Amino acid sequence: MILGIDTGGTYTDSVLLDEGRVFSKGKAPTTHYDLTKGIRESINKLERSLFPNVSAVILSTTLATNTIVEMRRLERVKEILIGYDKDFFLKNIQNRPGWLEFEFISGSIDTTGEEILPLDTEAIKRLPEVKYPIAISGYMSPINPKYELTAKEILKSKTRYPVVCGSELSGELNSIKRAITTALNASLIPSISNFISDVRKVLIEVGINSKIFIVNADGSITDVESAMEKPIKTVLSGPASSTLGGFFLSNVKDGIIIDMGGTTTDISLIKDSMPIISNEGAKVGTWDLLLSSLKMRTIGLGGDSRIYYLKNGIEVGPIRVIPISVLGKMYPEIKRKLKTTHNSSLVPPNEFILKIREPNFELNDIEERLLKSIDREPVSLEEATRICGLSHPYILDSAIHRLEEMGVIIRAGLTPTDILNYLGESEIGDPSISSKAIFAFSSDKDFPKLIKRLIVRKIATEILRYLLALEYNDDKIDGLLSKIIVDSFDRRSNLLETSIRIPFPIIGVGAPVKSFIYEVAKILHTTAIVPEHYEVANAIGAGWGRVLRSLELEIDPIVSSAEIKGYRIVGLDKRFETYEEAESFTIKYGTELLKSQMKNLVGEDINIDIESLSSNNEDISVRKIRFLGIGRIR
């Protein structure tokens, strides 16, 4: 029997599965201030008599995904960039985050792996000691990681904090993506380590001493010790589990999986009974990461997404807030502070700020005054503005944004959860507070239906973006295409009647999805499936125990004087005279490597699919060989 646990941004789910059957399930709110409470409450809802039968515990989580999408609670990181051009690098980093600082060190390696400029080890030794994680990215480290490893050895003697290298995470040459991926990996180490520690603590309490694994972004499973060193691989752990869970529960051969949680909506595709795996990288929020993952799209849209005004209308997401109904149940005294009538201000009414932890960084004057005002209980934006002696809530924006980004405070406000409370489709928190907040937000009686329709169209549009990117490698929806899609959604016709149809069903999983998925399927002219246990699909996907492991090896020509002199396998010190010799070795090496990686998890029962990918070079029929291992956890 396997215990699957999924800790999401809003709920923590747990399930007990054996031989494809769900024996028991539990759901509890995720308690960000102390994850053990939510994990404990969820597990305590399971049938305890089954605990002695648990042979393995498999985790999934959206904590890392949500952290990157929302750009909150990321730990400070110093990144050492070896051989990078400083001006070019900084020019290509959009919106440089406040938690990340760079140090540029000289030392160059060419495309053949030869050293052409020595590493400045003295500059590394002179770096002051830092009390937070360190990331190292060498410009040509996938070809030759020597400089990265040398820098790591020096820095590990200077700090007790984690030191991670880009070459340990990805063999791709995209230096910008690799640097960002490495920095985010270092930043996530403390939070993922704490999560795993919290799970262990609760499992010991309930008497479960089984081996613990975690789902990676590509659907593979790894032990938690490896995850604590390379947490970036768990960034899309939750979405990968929801894909596997949706596939398992629906039993479809082809279908779109839509997982709608509290913070994000994740879109993925099952084709020929297999999820599509991407080795090119993953897009999480605004960041492009060098990360082997299931081919999916993640957007900041969920049951707890913030509903707020924009100059040209109303927006939903990507920031997660506490639903006003939930805050009202936690702090009943806010009822007397609620506005009940609508005004024309662009400041959302009935938004409150709640302190969730003490800051570990220096505050400016406004931030100090703001935190003092919310020390005991949540206060509204208007209250906080008055207490801080400011003339308008907009002046607080930068302070609120920074404190949110650093995970010190969280907002509460109007969310899709409140809309569903009002429409009678859910009963979360205190629904009477949802109604009051809606009336204060808009005087339009159709406002709740308008928001629901807006969310339906957003999900449908993102499904089309995802499929366009798969089919045409382009997800832009603008100009004429945008107009055609809008006409299709609205079933509007004049001279032309447009209709967009998806040729396979949409499978909806996640707590709020049932309220939206049928309308989404309707405007995309397909069918919707909401399977049994849909609300805990992530935990089921983790606990299912199906192990996927992918590997891609590249064969490159060795060119000299415009002639091919042989072949090499990228990342290995192996050279061959003919392409056939290189290919034969690669297939044997890749198969044995994948089997050795999976043996401890699934034993000898491993099925490996091998795919040869064509090259554009007419002289070389194949340049990449992709391996996919499939098995079930023992």
Asked whether the beta carbons of 509 and 247 are under 8 A apart, the reply is: no
Locate 106 and state its tokens.
């000289």
Q: How many residues does the chain have?
A: 634
- For residue 345, pLDDT over 70 is answered with no
- For residue 622, pLDDT over 60 is answered with no
- For residue 272, pLDDT over 50 is answered with yes
pLDDT confidence bin for 346, thresholds 50/70/90: low
Q: What is the Cα Rg of the chain in Å? A: 26
- In DSSP notation, 140-156 reads TTTT--HHHHHHHHHHH
pLDDT at site 449: 95
Q: What is the mean pLDDT of residues 193-217?
A: 92
pLDDT confidence bin for 12, thresholds 50/70/90: very high
Q: What is the mean pLDDT of residues 455-470?
A: 91
pLDDT at site 198: 92
Lowest mean pLDDT, pick from 373-377, 599-603, 615-619: 615-619
CA distance linking residue 148 with residue 575, whole number of Å: 24
Domains defined along the chain, listed by start: 75-190 (3.40.50), 305-443 (no CATH), 546-632 (no CATH)
Lowest mean pLDDT, pick from 89-93, 217-221, 333-337, 577-581: 217-221
- Tell me which residue of 147, 138, 194, 205 sits closest to 170, measured CA to CA: 138
Dihedral Cα 512, 325, 354, 74, nearest 10 deg? 0
pLDDT at site 621: 47
Collect all residues with Cβ–Cβ distance below 8 Å to 445 and sequence separation of at least 6. none
pLDDT at site 493: 67
pLDDT at site 146: 92
Which DSSP state fits 493?
Answer: B
Check whether the bond before 393 is cis (ω within 30° of 0): no
pLDDT at site 72: 65
Distances (CA, A) of 153 to 125, 148, 184, 294: 11, 9, 21, 33
pLDDT at site 265: 92
Rounded percentage of the chain residues whose pLDDT exceeds 90:
41
Reduced to 3 states (helix: H, G, I; strand: E, B; else coil), residue 391 is: coil
What digits encode the pLDDT tens for the residues 86-98?
999 998 886 777 7
Q: What is the mean pLDDT of residues 120-134?
A: 92
Q: CA quadruple 350, 354, 359, 363: dihedral positive or negative? A: positive
Reduced to 3 states (helix: H, G, I; strand: E, B; else coil), residue 394 is: helix
pLDDT at site 130: 86
CA distance linking residue 431 with residue 325, whole number of Å: 6
pLDDT at site 70: 67
pLDDT at site 275: 85
pLDDT at site 344: 60
Lowest mean pLDDT, pick from 28-37, 83-92, 456-465: 28-37
Q: What is the mean pLDDT of residues 171-193?
A: 86
Q: What is the mean pLDDT of residues 124-137?
A: 92
What digits encode the pLDDT tens for the residues 390-418?
888 778 888 888 888 777 888 999 999 99
Specify the amino acid at residue 493: S
Three-class HEC string of 163-231: EEEHHHCCCCCCHHHHHHHHHHHHHHHHHHHHHHHHHHHHHHHCCCCCEEEEECCCCCEEEHHHHHHCH
Rounded percentage of the chain residues whose pLDDT exceeds 70:
96
- Helix-strand-coil percent breakdown of the chain, rounded to 5? 40, 25, 35
Which DSSP state fits 74?
Answer: P
How confident is the prediction for the chain on average, in pLDDT? 87
pLDDT at site 614: 60
Cα angle 330-336-337, degrees, rounded to a multiple of 5: 85
pLDDT confidence bin for 142, thresholds 50/70/90: confident
CA distance linking residue 630 with residue 427, whole number of Å: 41
Asked whether the beta carbons of 321 and 418 are under 8 A apart, the reply is: no
pLDDT at site 549: 74
